């Protein structure tokens, strides 16, 4: 199988304009963040690689694709929590809900941990990321996973999760974004 990448202009990307020469029958168009049923189905396979005895499944959320995939795989008794990485992302719930197959209600999105918005950060986040790495040896990024780990740590401190909860926190990678930070900002 061959693959050909087709690049579009920034202005076309902003309005989500697909070039006319691309027929969706011959091309697989991958939306931003992998958004869509195919992306959610693919994201659900993350759970193929872990035991499924968790009470809470937690992930960062940009488009809601990964969150929807997780919701589609877990039971009604289990909870899925998405941490929005964007500021004022008012459409995130409806975007996620469109991908949830059985219209389950066992999920929620928390919007209080964006640290200023997508790919934005504040000193408190970078300090947390360094402390988290020092304590766990797990690197995170300021776009997605640093915000996720910060949020879950904060929620644990607030007793958000009932006693005996078993959390799966999904590290989605993305560490390359850290390269944009000045050298020495992060310990890793």
* Mean pLDDT in residue range 130-159: 98
CB atoms < 10 A from the CB of 32, how many? 12
Q: pTM for the whole thing?
A: 0.89
d(CA 105, CA 81) in angstroms, rounded, equals 11
- Start-to-end Cα distance in the chain: 38
Q: Which domains does the chain have, with CATH numbers?
A: 53-175 (3.40.50.1100)
CB atoms < 10 A from the CB of 180, how many? 10
Q: Give the pLDDT of residue 52.
A: 73
* Mean pLDDT in residue range 77-90: 96
* Mean pLDDT in residue range 84-102: 96
d(CA 54, CA 77) in angstroms, rounded, equals 10
pLDDT at 1 over 70: no
Helix/strand/coil for 81: strand
**In which band, very low, low, confident or very high, does the pLDDT at 68 lie, cut at 50, 70 and 90?**
very high
Q: In Å, what is the CA distance from 66 to each residue of 23, 35, 72, 95, 121? A: 27, 9, 10, 11, 22
Closest CA to 150 of 66, 57, 83, 79: 83
Q: What is the mean pLDDT of the chain?
A: 93
Question: What digits encode the pLDDT tens for the residues 16-64?
Answer: 777 777 766 777 777 888 899 999 999 999 999 987 789 999 999 999 9
């Amino acid at each position: 199988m061959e693959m050909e990448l087709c690049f579009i202009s920034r202005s076309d990307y902003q309005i989500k304009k697909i070039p006319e020469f691309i027929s969706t029958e011959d091309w697989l168009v991958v939306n931003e963040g992998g958004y869509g049923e195919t992306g959610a189905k693919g994201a659900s396979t993350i759970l193929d690689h872990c035991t499924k005895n968790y009470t809470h499944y937690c992930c960062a959320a940009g488009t809601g694709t990964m969150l929807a995939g997780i919701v589609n795989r877990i039971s009604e008794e289990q909870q899925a929590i998405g941490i929005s990485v964007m500021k004022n992302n008012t459409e995130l719930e409806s975007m996620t809900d469109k991908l949830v197959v059985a219209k389950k209600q066992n999920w929620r999105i928390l919007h209080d941990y964006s640290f200023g918005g997508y790919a934005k950060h504040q000193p408190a986040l970078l300090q947390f990321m360094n402390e988290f790495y020092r304590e766990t040896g797990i690197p995170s990024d300021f776009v997605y996973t640093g915000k996720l780990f910060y949020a879950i740590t904060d929620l644990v401190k607030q007793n958000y999760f009932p006693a005996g909860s078993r959390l799966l926190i999904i590290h989605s990678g993305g560490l390359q974004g850290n390269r944009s930070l000045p050298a020495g900002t992060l310990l890793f």
